[in-house]
Amino acid sequence: MCARFTMTQEDKALLAEFEAKTIDEQYRQSYNLAPTQLAPVIISQKPEAIQLFHFGLVPFWSKDKKSSYSMMNARQETVLENNTYKPLMLHNKRCLVLADGFYEWKTEGKKKLPYRFVLLNRKAFAFAGLWSQWKSEDKKEVYESFTILTTTPNEQVATLHNRMPVILTKEEEKLWLANDVPPAELIKLCDPYPDEEMKMYPVSTEVNKAVNNHQDLILPMNSK
């Protein structure tokens, strides 16, 4: 599962990391990205641009936008069987969801203690995502949104949760957006990210509330 993540890189660093030419002028660093909020993505149809889409998928055929919370994640094992996600895979509505960390929680009694996961050798990376464009009946509102694919966890993440987001390597990012790679082959990319290339650390319980979004949220608890 991936319900919260971070993107704390400045726009210039993000452009350089993903070899993009433009970034949405509304882009802002975020320390606690939650469902319905805008997050940076790169879609296959416009790989040179970093755009902002809403976290939590709203399919184009949906009557309203209420599905965003229930569709923030898609299981990679069934994505080619699911009636919502399969067409997005087949018609290349795939995207890179840009991040530099994500949160999971440890439950101790009634407490939910958050931990942040980051990569050791990459300041920013991409989750494998699927996106869709929804329009209101009167066509006046356009809502672009995405879901993050999840897979079985590596050993670190497994200490807290039975799922983890699909993190792509630099080489896999290009394949995920490609038009000439069969979807069945792309699913093979959705394996757990190597445990030894990640680290986790405890952070403030302020993360538990989505309204909190400031740089102190990503500080290790023992450094405060």
pLDDT in tens, the chain (224 residues): 789 999 999 999 999 999 999 999 999 999 999 999 999 999 999 999 999 999 999 998 887 777 656 789 999 999 999 999 999 999 999 999 999 999 999 998 889 999 999 999 999 999 999 999 998 878 788 999 999 999 999 999 999 999 999 999 999 999 999 999 999 999 999 999 999 999 999 999 999 999 999 999 999 987 44
Total domains in the chain come to 1
Q: Which of 2, 95, 173, 190 is catalytic?
A: 2
Domain containing 158 — which CATH number?
3.90.1680.10
Residue 43 belongs to domain spanning: 5-102+123-196
Answer whether residue 203 is part of any domain.
no
Give which of 209, 4, 188, 204 is closest to 97, Cα–Cα. Answer: 4
Asked about 185 being catalytic, the answer comes back as: no
Output b/e per residue, 120-148; b: 16+ Cβ within 10 A. eeeebbbbbbbbbebeeeeeeeebbbbbb
Helix (H, G, I), strand (E, B) or coil at 142: strand
Answer whether residue 223 is part of any domain.
no
- As to burial, measured by CB atoms within 10 angstroms (0-12 exposed, 13-18 middle, 19+ buried), residue 86 is middle
Q: What are phi and psi of 154, to 5 degrees?
A: -80, 180
Answer whether residue 115 is part of any domain.
no
Confirm if 35 and 56 have CB atoms less than 8 A apart. Answer: yes
- What is the pTM (predicted TM-score) of this model? 0.95
Asked about 2 being catalytic, the answer comes back as: yes
Helix (H, G, I), strand (E, B) or coil at 14: helix
Alpha-carbon span 169 to 55, nearest angstrom: 21
Answer whether residue 221 is part of any domain.
no
Q: Which of 104, 144, 172, 173 is catalytic?
A: 104
The pLDDT, as a whole number, for residue 1 is 76
